[in-house]
Amino acid sequence: MGPDQRPEPIELARAHRVGHLVYRQPLMAFGSPDSRSHSRKSPQARGDIRRRRWCAYLRGGRSMTTPIVIIGAGGFGRHAHDVVDAMNASSPTYEMLGFLDDGRPDERLLHERNADLIGSVSLLEELPVDVNYVIAIGSGDVRRRIDRWATSLGRKAATLRHPSSTLGRHVALGEGSVICSHVSIGTNVKIGRHAHINFNCTVGHDAILSDYVTAYPGANIAGNVFLGESTTVGSGAVIIQGLSVGADSTIGASACVVRDLPSRVTAVGVPAKAETGRTDSHGWGAT
């Protein structure tokens, strides 16, 4: 394949299904970022550069960094890209290949950051096996489904940790977790697979955050707290020490949780009161 040619389109004849996600044909806007040339070159020239780098990658001209794709090209996807950039600025770690998304993200915002929508989520299956992935989708339930599918394919998730975050001793970060800027995590904390800990969150000593937990910006999770799988903690919410929150529950923004909470409830207010019977446990979309 010549350096200026587009790669052959990858045929995705089968329609893959993961839970309710139906994957469509990839858009094939291949590319990878080139931050040095971004400001001076035309969009066409930048596209050519990204295409050449992508072709070089497919030909096997690999660097010492790990190639990565971000699944989900919405706001948190771009946020995860910022974490990748910050990690690379600290020590070259990842080669960002682009985003995978089944929806219609704002590609202008992606191009402005010199990144591209490569195709739909199912394209992960077709990428070289050394390409890592991270799931930047707000719904823990959707992350769980994609994780199970990707794991069944033998794909490896990258764990992203912003360099400004601080971790105590004996902190275990599950594969695929995203730890954003200015997060503080105490000692002896376990964080499960594909957990999202958004900026300015605190997690106290001896806490256990199960797989697919989402902590939105500024959430404060005190010591010895247990959060069940796929639980969401809203912005600025507080969970006081030693409490348990069951799986698939949602703590509203600014709530203060002072009692244990069961699974599948939404709790709001100060002190937080659980409400059952909500059909949407998260209150927002998938990305």
Contacting residues toward ligand COA, per CB under 6 A: 216-217, 234-235, 250, 252-255, 266, 268-269, 278, 280, 283
Output the six-digit token pair for 77. Answer: 């996807």
- Minimum CB separation of residue 174 from ligand COA in Å reads 21
CA gap 83, 59 in Å, rounded: 27
Closer residue to ligand COA (CB): 217 or 262: 217
- Minimum CB separation of residue 109 from ligand COA in Å reads 16
119's CB contacts (< 8 A; 6+ apart) are: 10, 25, 26, 27, 28, 29, 100
- Minimum CB separation of residue 61 from ligand COA in Å reads 38
- Are the CB atoms for 149 and 167 separated by under 8 Å? no
Q: For residues 196-223, b (16+ Cβ closer than 10 Å) or e, as one string?
A: bbbbbbbbbbbbbbbbbbbbbbbbbbbb
Closer residue to ligand COA (CB): 31 or 234: 234
Strand-pair category, 94-100 with 160-161: unpaired
Cis peptide leading into 271, omega within 30 of 0? yes
Closer residue to ligand COA (CB): 167 or 255: 255
Closer residue to ligand COA (CB): 120 or 165: 165
- Minimum CB separation of residue 75 from ligand COA in Å reads 8
Closer residue to ligand COA (CB): 250 or 287: 250
- Minimum CB separation of residue 277 from ligand COA in Å reads 11
